Amino acid sequence: MTGLDIRIVERSLQFKNPAGTSRGILREKPSFYVIAKDLEEDGRIGIGECSLIPGLSPESVPRARMELKKLAASGSLDPKAMSLQYPAVKFAAETALIDLLNEGDRTLFPGPFTDGRPVPINGLIWMNEPKDMIAQAESLLNRGFDTLKLKVGALDFEREIECLCTIRDMAPANRITLRLDANGGLDDDDISVTLNKLERLAALDIHSMEQPIRPGQWKKLQAVCADSPIPIALDEELIGINDTALRRNLLQLVQPAFVILKPSLIGGLLEANHWIDLAAEVGAGWWATSALESNIGLNAIAQWAADATAEESHTIPQGLGTGSLFTNNLPSPLVVVNGEIRMDQPQAQANGTLRTWDLSALLG
């Protein structure tokens, strides 16, 4: 789409509490917003978000800033022509365009989500000292979550096992699903060490383990997936795999149980749809998670996920419970109630539209 006035707004998102992962502690993260105004029609506006996680996103902050400046100077949004080398930039352009084409009402995918259908999500427990992780679990259970996802792999393994045992006692397997995400933190030169840890964790009735080993080790990952007593989900493994043949080769070789889709890290929603189709060829399931987007990107992914799962009789919980992480997030009618994310319709319609954020809060 051409004839646009495109503005880029940079914003540093501040975490309410330090977010611990196996790659370190996050206290803030960069995001950019693509604000596209149609000069040839009625002046409607579309907004997309470029969310970056330093050390994980393929784009560096300076490179993303440069690509976004080029996008703004072009006066056009054509995501299909954009390079997958810059997936977060492409996701921002794609969602800004979808927003714009939907006449700026912020619904993106008019359908079940904007009509009130909630999307089940997991509650996320960040890495910390065991006492804090147990407190996080208790809080999420009290808020009605029936699926919990825990970050593991950074603490001493015996301490993590002890912590998980305590949480499993609080959250029995017949009521609560536990997912684990190692971010490569269970990797070892001796694959038997990794498999032994997975065996011990399996005793706690674990639904899935995301990315137990560091990405890029396909033969080793194949062996882990084949012998693990816990179903393996690929997450970071998908980043940078942009060729269809290469994607198919990865999935056919490794045979994962699930793929985890972060649109900001894999090139957007169309690319996520492509991964879903390829995963289905090997019988792998999927769910989406955020790349720590603010409410703008989170809204886009939530609406896409609702649309993508609308025909499924059982919707696997998505990983979209990150909207409350930041002290300076943008206002939004996205709410989480009893483990489900939904739109607060009265708030969304207060100004006569289904806008999910206040533009003045972004531009101000």
Distances from the Cα of 215 to the Cαs of 142, 185, 240, in angstroms? 35, 11, 11
Distances from the Cα of 230 to the Cαs of 83, 207, 226, in angstroms? 35, 7, 10
What is the spatial distance between Cα 184 and Cα 23, in angstroms, rounded to a whole number? Answer: 9
- CA quadruple 322, 326, 329, 334: dihedral positive or negative? positive
Establish how many alpha carbons lie within 13 A of residue 267's alpha carbon, considering only the half-sphere containing its beta carbon: 20
Q: How far apart are the first and last CA of the chain?
A: 27
149 is a catalytic site residue: no
- CA quadruple 14, 16, 21, 26: dihedral positive or negative? positive
Q: Which of 151, 197, 219, 220 is catalytic?
A: 151
The radius of gyration of the chain from alpha carbons, rounded to an integer in Å, stands at: 20
151 is a catalytic site residue: yes
Distances from the Cα of 242 to the Cαs of 59, 65, 247, 264, in angstroms? 14, 22, 7, 13
For 42, the 3-state DSSP assignment is coil
Two tokens, residue 2: 């051409």
Q: Which of 29, 90, 197, 262 is catalytic?
A: 262
Question: Residue holding tokens 């955020």?
Answer: 290
φ/ψ of 48, rounded to 5, equals: -135, 160
What is the set of active-site residues?
151, 262
